[in-house]
Amino acid sequence: MGTDQDSGEFVREALGVAERITADGSSPWPVEAGRYRLVGARACPWANRVIITRRLLGLEDAISMGIAGPLHDERSWRFHLDPGNVDPVLGIEYLREAYEKAVPGYDEGVTVPAMVEVASGKVVTNEYALLERDLSTQWRGLHRDGAPDLWTDPEAIDEIGKGIFHDVNNGVYKCGFASSQRAYDRAYDALWSRMDELSEHLSTRRYLVGDSITQADIRLWVTLVRFDAAYHGHFKANRHKLTELPVLWAYARDLFQTPGFGDTIDFEQVKQHYYGVHASVNPTGIVPKGPDTAGWTTAHGREELGGRPFGDGTPPGPPPESERVPAVG
């Protein structure tokens, strides 16, 4: 992450290892069950997008998952929740080690999600947007029976996804890391203009594109679910709390209660990361006790809008025991 010195605007770093894993031989990395390990973090929305996609498609047996803890330092994400502070499969303490195996002398950002080849310990890709698309397309042969189609209308999904990325997903970061009032004001206005637009869009339809969950919903939801816990206060995105926005709050609860979404969220790790790592924003490192999360399991009423969450598919089963998160409330 960085800030433009002239404008004070937040600038997201380029992704450092943007290879692809394909089934058609178009890359050096073939689709193969058990070959790769997805490294994510419960705190990170970008990783959460891929974690949800993997859950919905039923790829848990084909792609194992390691979870970096919420706290890290300049050396990168660290496996401090695992015994001995070491990922049990990759045998590393810091994710940077896998990046350096792939690119000796690596000096770009160390981010999650990252797909790592288990045998070599090398990061194959940290390109989250392409990875989530490839999980739906290149990995189709390993999907569970009943896996949903998350790309029912790729053009519409990408079109609405652009605005979500720039103004919402990245927009909250632009608010939080702005170093000038002008940059903050511009990001804040763009965020809330887009949130109002999305609220209007969702007031008469259950999902963003079509009548079932698509990748567009995953992209928006990972920011909404963290909004009150982190972005409203920590990033000064504070016109309203999510709980004060009737349409988006109901939409977010609907998805939270859908298998594959809420069962990937650990609110404590979200707060520990944002308030504990961003010293420039929260120099004391104090982590707030709130907000109350009990509301996430209350009735949302979105069923009245119709729609079929998984289209012609079926819900995923429960997450593996090792991947379960604490219940809310």
Active-site residues, by number, are 44, 173
Place of tokens 């104090």: 286
Place of tokens 């995953």: 218
Whether 49 contacts 222, CB under 8 Å? yes
Place of tokens 């109002």: 196
Kindly state the tokens that stand for 132: 């989530």
- Residue 46 assigned ligand-binding role: no
Provide DSSP, 225-253.
HHIIIIITTTT---SS-GGG-HHHHHHHH
Dist CA 146 CA 255 (whole Å): 18
Whether 27 contacts 19, CB under 8 Å? yes
Which residues are CB-neighbours of 250 under 8 A, at least 6 positions away?
A: 300, 301, 302
Q: At residue 260, what are phi and psi to the nearest 5 degrees? A: 105, -15
Bond into 88 cis (ω within 30): no
Q: At residue 134, what are phi and psi to the nearest 5 degrees? A: -70, -30
Provide DSSP, 6-17.
TT--EEPPPPS-
Binding site as annotated, residues for glutathione: 77
